[in-house]
Homo-oligomer: A and B are copies of this chain.
Amino acid sequence: MTSSSKKSVLIIGGGAVGAIAALNLEVGGLASVTLVLRSNFNAVNEHGFDIKSCDHGRVNSWKPSVVRNSIPDIAKESLPSYDYIVLCTKNIPDVPPTVVDLVTPALPETNTHTTLILLQNGLHIYRPFLETHPQTPVLSGISMIGSEEIFPGQIIQDEGDKLIIGAFPNPNIDPPTSAALEFVNIYKNGGKTDCKLSEDVLHDRWRKLVYNACLNPICAILGLDTGRLRLSADGEVVEHLVRPAMWEIVEAARANGVVLDEDVVQKMIDADPLQSYLNPSMLADVKKGNLIEHENLLGEPLREGKKAGVMMPKIEMLYYMAKGIQWRTMEVRGMVEIPPKNV
């Protein structure tokens, strides 16, 4: 296959997830990747990525075809449309810019060509695009990777990259199933990763929430990794907080027409090897002083569950605690002002 016949892929966000996606797509040989970086741009632009990966081995001083420190404005820059745009940033609707604002300059006006892939967590993250880009095919990407950027441009991936791709619902267009299938083939062409087509995007997203709306925020709030959380207080924290919160998600999913397997709760509790002592994303974010994705991981399933008549007292409490923690981060970063201290 010649370079010109490769698919053009723009990846926005080159952290622990985006960098491995970029590497994997280029290793496969069917895609030419432009990667948009922010905080690690200088490090990567000068020295490339250093990656230690259970899928790809050691990869030093590696760069994708193009690295940039801004999102392309394809009209202003007279660039051709990308075939795919993969969003690998955090998705934090409570703090601007929104993902729609972020991606809009890289899409053609009245786009039908470029397929958008939201490689992000949470429920209903496609909905804002239905309003602003009703004709744009939007795919769901659920990543099960274990990967961390320990220094700018230095990435350790210690759990295999498993990606599930599927079409988000859109009443305005035919479901972009062929685009989904094509992207799966491009992604798995290198033979190093597990990428497959989703049979049911909504099911997959609710399923991942069993981990992401429960273990993830509880670890972040208590400052405990998943191994320590399971060990803490002789397992009482798991039994009295994690497990009942997970059942609330299972019930909310069921009330929304999604039946999860009976063993999903235990599987998610045991998902991370205990002695790996892994930091789930929210805990990693809190430790780094970053904002957290609680609106899509907690707020949205809470609202959908309550709308369907499910009592979710544990998830609700986690949601408001996460709001408090988000506010704390914003205050530390100077994003909110408070009255001066009276001395």
Q: Decide if A199 is an interface residue (CB 8 Å cutoff).
A: no
What does DSSP make chain A's interface, helix, strand, loop or mixed? Answer: helix
Task: Select which of B223, B224, B325, B338 is within 8 A of A227 by beta carbon.
Answer: B338
Q: Decide if A54 is an interface residue (CB 8 Å cutoff).
A: no
Q: Decide if A159 is an interface residue (CB 8 Å cutoff).
A: no
Q: Decide if A57 is an interface residue (CB 8 Å cutoff).
A: no
Task: Give complex CA distance A197, B273 in Å.
Answer: 57
Q: In the complex the two chains form, is B338's CB within 8 Å of A228's CB?
A: yes
Q: In the complex the two chains form, is A223's CB within 8 Å of B320's CB?
A: no
Task: Select which of B233, B321, B338 is within 8 A of A320 by beta carbon.
Answer: B233
Q: Decide if A339 is an interface residue (CB 8 Å cutoff).
A: yes
Q: In the complex the two chains form, is B221's CB within 8 Å of A320's CB?
A: no
Q: In the complex the two chains form, is A324's CB within 8 Å of B229's CB?
A: yes
Q: Decide if A335 is an interface residue (CB 8 Å cutoff).
A: no
- The digit string for A169-212, where 1 denotes a CB below 8 A from any CB of B, is 00000000000000000000000000000000000000000000
Q: What residues of chain B lie closer than 8 Å to A340, measured between beta carbons?
A: 275
Task: Select which of B228, B241, B276, B324 is within 8 A of A224 by beta carbon.
Answer: B324
Q: In A225-276, which residues have CB < 8 Å from any B CB?
A: 227-229, 231-233, 236-237, 240-241, 273-276
24 A-B pairs whose Cβ atoms sit less than 8 Å apart in the complex: A218-B324, A221-B221, A222-B321, A228-B327, A228-B328, A231-B327, A231-B336, A232-B323, A232-B324, A233-B326, A237-B320, A237-B323, A237-B324, A237-B327, A240-B317, A240-B320, A273-B342, A275-B339, A275-B340, A275-B342, A277-B341, A313-B314, A313-B317, A314-B317
Instruction: Please give me the 4 A-B residue pairs with the lowest Cβ-Cβ distance, nearest first.
Output: A232-B327, A233-B323, A275-B342, A240-B320
Residues in chain A within 8 A of chain B (CB atoms): 218, 221-224, 227-229, 231-233, 236-237, 240-241, 273-277, 313-314, 316-317, 320-321, 323-328, 331, 336, 338-342
